[in-house]
């Protein structure tokens, strides 16, 4: 399916990523800090024992950058990585991984149908929640997949709370991201959608409330360094433990 329509919608996002998969790694690789920020979000999960005995879910793994970040944070964990885009997933599978990493082609809304079941000790969802039709339902489903006390890390753009962040985001999209997407992939529709979807997404405070409303506890967030300070955030939350307390581990700042 072509992504050339200016009205790219959430239901066509997997098709758009399929079409742009061949250029995706080059585009994100040109973004200063992209891989380092994913690594930072994975580190902020504070997964114990280098992941020994842990089972982790990478929800929306794309071409595997977030999977690599989880693997760096927990090299001995079992990691299940899922994505709705078959072409992105094939790019991920083509890279070198240890036997502990497996990939599953499925939308996050249909994990059980695809045979992906909990419990997981931790879930990383990078650049995912903004792109699903019903974020509240997806967050509730992810909470249900966590073991009691398990950690969810949502790595996501959020600019609504900051006029400066909105201005930087719009300027970088207009001058860099959209033109680069057009040159490298031949079609900028996916990157125009990226600009719109980020501009319309929750502010950090609203998204923390959304996490609490979905039944998570210990909700907090922190931004990243570099040009994306105030633009990209790690949102951390826990499934309530059987004793009613959250798994320890926090990131400084942006608490709410």
Which residue segments constitute the domains of the chain, with CATH numbers given?
Answer: 33-161+203-238 (3.40.50.150)
CA–CA gap between residue 10 and residue 88 (Å, rounded): 16
Distances (CA, A) of 106 to 16, 70, 73, 76: 15, 19, 24, 24
Nearest to 124 by CA among 230, 196, 47, 191: 47
Task: Quote the CA–CA distance of 202 and 156 in Å, as a whole number.
Answer: 10
How far apart (Å, rounded) are the C-alpha atoms in residues 236 and 246?
11
Q: Tell me the sheet residues that pair with 237.
A: 152
The pLDDT of residue 184: 81
Dihedral sign from CA coordinates of 219, 225, 230, 231: negative
C-alpha 34/C-alpha 11 separation (Å) is: 26
DSSP state letters, 105-155: E--GGGTTTTT----EEEEEEES-GGGSS-HHHHHHHHHHHEEEEEEEEEE
Partners of 220 in the β-ladder: 236
What was the pLDDT predicted at 254? 54
Task: Annotate 240-250 with b (16+ C-beta within 10 A) or e (fewer).
Answer: beeeeebbebe
> For 127-249, where are the E strands, in sequence order?
146-157, 217-223, 232-238
Q: What is the predicted pLDDT for the residue at 204?
A: 98
Query: What pLDDT score does 141 carry?
Result: 97
Write out the chain's pLDDT in tens, 256 residues.
233 334 555 666 778 788 778 888 888 888 889 999 999 999 999 999 999 999 999 999 999 999 999 999 999 999 999 999 999 999 999 999 999 999 999 999 999 999 999 999 999 999 999 999 999 999 999 999 999 999 999 999 999 999 999 999 999 999 999 998 888 888 888 889 999 999 999 999 999 999 999 999 999 999 999 999 999 999 999 999 876 444 433 333 454 4
């Amino acid at each position: 399916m072509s992504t050339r329509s200016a009205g790219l919608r959430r239901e066509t996002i997997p098709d758009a990523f399929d079409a742009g998969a061949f250029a995706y790694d080059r585009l994100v690789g040109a973004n200063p800090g992209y891989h380092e920020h994913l690594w930072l979000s994975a580190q902020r999960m504070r997964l114990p024992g280098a992941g020994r005995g842990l089972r982790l879910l990478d929800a929306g793994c794309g071409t595997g950058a977030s999977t690599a970040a989880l693997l760096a944070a927990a090299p001995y964990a079992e990691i299940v990585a899922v994505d709705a885009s078959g072409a992105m997933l094939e790019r991920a599978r083509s890279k070198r991984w240890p036997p502990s990493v497996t990939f599953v082609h499925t939308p996050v809304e249909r994990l059980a149908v695809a045979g992906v079941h909990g419990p997981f000790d931790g879930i990383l969802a990078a650049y995912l929640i903004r792109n699903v039709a019903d974020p509240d339902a997806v967050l509730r489903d992810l909470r249900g997949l966590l073991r009691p006390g398990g950690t969810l890390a949502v790595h996501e753009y959020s600019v609504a709370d900051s006029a400066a962040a909105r201005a930087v985001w719009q300027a970088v999209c207009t001058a860099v991201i959209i033109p680069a997407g057009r040159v490298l992939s031949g079609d900028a529709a996916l990157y125009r959608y990226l600009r719109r979807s980020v501009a319309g997404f929750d502010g950090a405070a609203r998204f923390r409330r959304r996490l609490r409303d979905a039944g998570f506890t210990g909700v907090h967030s922190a931004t990243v360094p570099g040009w994306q300070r105030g633009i990209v955030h790690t949102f951390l939350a826990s499934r309530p433990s059987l004793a009613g307390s959250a798994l320890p581990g926090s990131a400084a700042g942006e608490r709410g």
